[in-house]
Structure 1
């Protein structure tokens, strides 16, 4: 699949989807890229076959509501731009919103959704549509909520495996674009016991806290050279990841997690931690796909 730097936002006419449009507009401006606003209608355009059955209204425009949504979304973008310039494209598709967003011909840099909505795009985020987009998208997916501290840091969850690297890279880029600190959170109470017991009991690895701090430092090694302008703060706690991320998010403007961590089965495309964070955290959340 080809890739582009554009930001894509799904809109359904709900207030939260327009919140997503505003957030996506600011994100596109920060990245100096284009914005694409997409809505979907489940009604297929009428065909001559409909005339055979004499279906009333077969040739009326079934997309009136979808077009209204796109018009309103365009007004939201213009208001958010506040005089700044941005390349904007709008698109009306037919069929399942989940299919539309997960089968884009050219992969975007990010897909943005509201946390709740009226229609298929965001109605019941962790229902079929939200789950499908979050689990199957091959680019980061931002779930926008009304909370978050405007000038707060970026929080990234780190499990100290290679699965964390895409999320770390994304979070550092966001922190650099926004001019804020990055807080890397590693909670290790869910550490598999065997990985501790196989370490050298006579060496420094006998101290689990020291081991986890070392693992976090190794996970972040090299990134400072790529983003020298970002101050990285490390947090290592013996706690459940979701609880610590929820606590850290209280003063954050954005929380970043990987789609899957070290736990569970590889076939589960969206991990339990990512799901729980989306449900629990009030700030915007970005789920970054891990390699699979």
Structure 2
């Protein structure tokens, strides 16, 4: 997809870090950056549903322009060559960004808090359940010289997540570490019986996918690890030395809004670096 990188702007100091990350991602992808601020309908809405600040009002427009201008300055400092657009859209932030994500190459948001505090009703939580396309959640303390971490937890999400991870590792000039999870509670993410995929089947699919992608990205150094036992703790510990964690999400569950499986939840709630959710 050649759409822009979309990032929500809210004017907070922490949000400027998110904007900077989004600008760098747009530079790596070779696409534009779209700065989006969501606002509710102002109390002085004009006729035909047009907000008064759109037709010359001064009470709301100036602060919003200031917020977007500040975000644009931060983005240009981070990635001077990136084409930047900005706009104010009416609606709740989650609804606005969910809509914008449909044509985006990547949607970028913050984690709404410190490590381990992501709430299901947060913006990141909402988009992880309802958004379209890849979602990057900026969180933790990434190691700028660390590897990109690819989480392997089933064959259905493997190829899409692996392709995204290789592309990111290549663009960042980073190594790629593939981490296979075993014996994690994610074996039954939505209740019922465990997935039919066996470890041997996953190994075959992983080998095929990685072999193909290694040919496409010869500049990427790949290392493979397998976590056993306390896979959840191992995943969190591995993220502490990484600059990005990539995990696949089963896209077929998005429209019924079932909760993310435990592997994705662990990444979003506990990882110590930014997390990319790739819908597959």
TM-score (norm: length of structure 1): 0.78
Q: Distance in 1 between matches of 2:48 and 2:99?
A: 28
Would you say the 8 A contact 1:212–1:236 is kept in 2?
no
Equivalent residue runs for 1:162-177 within 5 Å: 162-177=156-171
Runs of 4+ aligned residues of structure 1 deviating over 4 Å after TM superposition are 191-196, 210-215
Change (3 A) 1:5 1:267: closer
Q: Secondary structure at the match of 1:247?
A: helix
Alignment-derived partner of residue 275 in structure 1 = 265
Give the corresponding residue for 1:181.
175
Residue of structure 2 in register with 1:244 after alignment: 234
CA distance in 2, matches of 1:238, 1:124: 26
- Which structure has the bigger radius of gyration? 1
Q: Could you list the runs of 5+ residues in structure 1 that have no partner in the other structure? A: 51-58, 118-122, 200-207
**What TM-score, normalized by structure 2, do the two folds share?**
0.81
Q: How many Å apart are 1:212 and its aligned residue? A: 6.5
C-alpha separation between the residues in 2 aligned to 1:109 and 1:62? 30
1:1-292 alignment runs, 5 A limit:
3-44=1-42, 46-48=45-47, 61-81=59-79, 84-104=80-100, 107-116=103-112, 126-190=120-184, 216-260=206-250, 268=258, 270-290=260-280
| Deviation, structure 1 residue 145 | 2.0
Q: 1:39 to 1:215 in 2, by over 3 A?
A: same
Cα offset for 1:218?
4.1
Q: Is the 8 A contact 1:19 1:146 kept in 2?
A: no
The equivalent of 2:53 in structure 1 is none
CA gap 1:65/1:194 in 2 versus in 1, 3 angstroms? closer
Higher deviation after alignment, 244-253 or 60-69:
60-69
Output one character per residue of 1:244-285: Cα deviation in whole Å (capped at 9) or x when no partner.
221211111101111249xxxx86253222122111112111
1:230 positional shift: 1.0
* Alpha-carbon contact 2:102-2:131 (below 8 Å) kept: no
Aligned residue number for residue 52 of structure 2: none
Residue 243 of structure 1 deviates from its aligned partner by 2.1
- Helix, strand or coil: the match of 1:245? helix
Aligned to 1:85, the other structure's residue is in SS state coil
What is the number of residues matched between the two proteins? 261
- The CA deviation string for residues 169-188 of structure 1, in whole angstroms up to 9 with x for no partner, is 10000001111111010011
Show CA shifts across 1:54-105 (max 9, x none). Answer: xxxxx65334433221111012112223xx3221000111111111111128
- Give the aligned CA root-mean-square deviation in angstroms: 3.1
